[in-house]
Structure 1
Amino acid sequence: MSRRSWVRVARASLIGVSAVLIAQAAAPPTDLAVQSVSSYQKQQALMFDDFNGPAWAPPNPQWWSYDTGGGGWGNGESQTYTSAPSNVRLDGAGHLVIEARNDGGEYTSARVTTQGRTSLLYGRAEARAKLPRGSGMHPAFWLLGTDLGVVGWPDSGEIDVVETIGGAGQLYSSVIGPRTSGGDWQAGPTTDVANTFVDDFHTYWVEKAPGRVTFGVDGQITGAVTAAGLPPDERWVFDKPFFLLLNVAVGGEWPGPPDSSTPFPAAMVVDWVRVTDD
């Protein structure tokens, strides 16, 4: 979820994706946004968490840990991430709630991660979620290379499955990698949606295959980035394991600060997360 300049290789709506793009990417999946996940699908998953448990309980430590603290997180963000139940908890109805709060001008939120617990090499990572709206809100479902602590960012690579800025009008998906000359490059689809799209549950997903990362929402492919399509200065670092992250950031260089119209508390509500291999 590190932001610099945005370079996009594809732009699509949920209704019209080009035939060329569909031909290059994997076949559209079953739309799990309107169907429950079957017992078979749960059994076949490397990870499946439907966040069942009592209200105010923490997410399952088998799968999730926390990134905590402030300092801007590389984007000039305003929130301090905590592991407090006021910021991250089960709701008792089968959901994970990640809640950004404004306590007298002090912003808190949460960022959960599967680092050290589970990761994806090739296959699919998906989350069914509702995303918050409001000026300065920056929710995300994303992945980082498991070698982050060794090689650093951007050499680790970053895959942003879905991000929104203020939650209105567009979904952003991207891969971010290193340049041979230093710095980073970014590419991926921007998807136009109705302002209220994020208010409902949708399944946001990414598929990783050798030399290819494909993005989608529900049963629709929104775009793909391939190693073969990169300029010589852009390194492909995505054929390795990646771990998952879910968070709600507040403010920062990209969305800008919240204002008096921003509703607090503002929550990302996650119905389930699933990781499957090839």
Structure 2
Amino acid sequence: MVIPTLLALAAVGSVPGGSAQATVVASEDFTGPAGVAPDPSVWTHDVGGGGWGNGERQVYTSSTRNARLDGRGHLVIEAHREGGRITSARLTTRGRYAFRWGTVAARIKVPIGTGLHPAFWLLGADLGTVGYPESGEIDIMEFVNAGTSWHTALHGPTHGGTHWQVTRSGPFWGLAGARFHTYAVHRVPGLIVMSIDDRVVSTYTPAMLPPNARWVFDKPMNVLLNLAVGGRWPGPVAPSTTFPARMLVDWVRFIPDTETGGSMSAT
């Protein structure tokens, strides 16, 4: 990952909710030889099974069998069926970098198949201190099964500490798994805007939350990338689902919102 301490790397086009010209300050391009693990100075692994709150089947590992570079500038997150067990990977910037105010974007090619659930999302960097759902969760991209619909969501706490969620979904244009698409979230105080290929698909504000819900998203958050399998959503894995199932990530970038003091911090 290139971390130039807020030194501009490249100019990009318009950002939903942002200025006409923005500047990338961090770009993870997954360069390196085939078979090596993603940069440990940027990414850590969440490991283990237990369903992950959704009855999921996969066991997340830190093995390069499940997460590695392909030598062509991509991160591979791969789910394998190993007898009666399914392994996969879940990567996070927790303990490395957190991001506040601005755009986090990734160019991803998702796998499709009944029971597959690729995701690109954010969790509050204070998760280890305050727990979930107080940390807040922003789901930037989720597809399930055939990938015919996009899904975004917010998860957070009520004033009583219980969990709430607000979701948005819609039909995807074309085939989500046929090629790479760019998924992005733009955050400024009191506003979250999500887009696919520069097309805004979801907008969230505090006024849209359920009664008694608290807005907990105006803080540093970590990036997560994972490929889940089975569970209550998307449902069971079909015999026809192809393994290994492969999620490819071309790049992940952070573009700060200069008007609100967007920043990236080491955690």
Which category describes the TM-score, using the shorter chain as reference length?
Answer: 0.7 to 0.9
2:26 matches 1:26: no
Q: Which runs of 5+ in 1 are unaligned?
A: 1-24, 31-39
2:193 matches 1:202: no
Q: Distance in 2 between matches of 1:221 and 1:275?
A: 18
Give the alignment's TM-score, normalised by structure 1. 0.83
Letter aligned with residue 198 of structure 2 = G
Bigger Cα displacement from structure 2, 90-99 vs 112-121: 112-121
Give the total of aligned pairs.
242
Matched residue SS, 2:207 = helix
Letter aligned with residue 210 of structure 1 = P
Matched residue SS, 1:119 = strand
Q: Distance in 2 between matches of 1:163 and 1:213?
A: 16
Residue 228 of structure 1 and its aligned partner are, at CA, apart by 3.1
Residue 195 of structure 1 and its aligned partner are, at CA, apart by 6.1
Per the alignment, residue 8 of structure 1 pairs with: none
Q: Which of 126, 145, 162 is 1:166 aligned to?
A: 145
Residue 231 of structure 1 and its aligned partner are, at CA, apart by 4.1
Per the alignment, residue 186 of structure 1 pairs with: 165
Q: Distance in 2 between matches of 1:148 and 1:29?
A: 33
Q: Of Structure 1 and Structure 2, which has the larger fraction of its residues in helix?
A: 1
Per the alignment, residue 236 of structure 1 pairs with: 215
Q: Of Structure 1 and Structure 2, which has the larger fraction of its residues in strand?
A: 2
Q: Distance in 2 between matches of 1:78 and 1:84?
A: 17
Q: Distance in 1 between matches of 2:209 and 2:120?
A: 24
Q: Distance in 1 between matches of 2:146 and 2:196?
A: 15
Per the alignment, residue 264 of structure 2 pairs with: none
Instruction: Check conservation: 1:28, 1:220, Cα contact below 8 A.
Output: no
Matched residue SS, 1:228 = helix
Q: Distance in 2 between matches of 1:274 and 1:29?
A: 17
Q: 1:106 to 1:28 in 2, by over 3 A?
A: farther
Residue 182 of structure 1 and its aligned partner are, at CA, apart by 4.0
Q: 1:28 to 1:87 in 2, by over 3 A?
A: farther
Cα RMSD between the aligned structures? 1.8
- Quick one: percent identity of the two aligned structures? 49
Residue 234 of structure 1 and its aligned partner are, at CA, apart by 0.8
Q: Which runs of 5+ in 2 are unaligned?
A: 1-15, 258-267
Q: Distance in 1 between matches of 2:166 and 2:82?
A: 36
Residues 32-88 of structure 1, C-alpha deviations (whole Å, 9 max, x = no match): xxxxxxxx95xx41x311001000011111211111111111111111111111111
Instruction: Check conservation: 1:144, 1:157, Cα contact below 8 A.
Output: yes
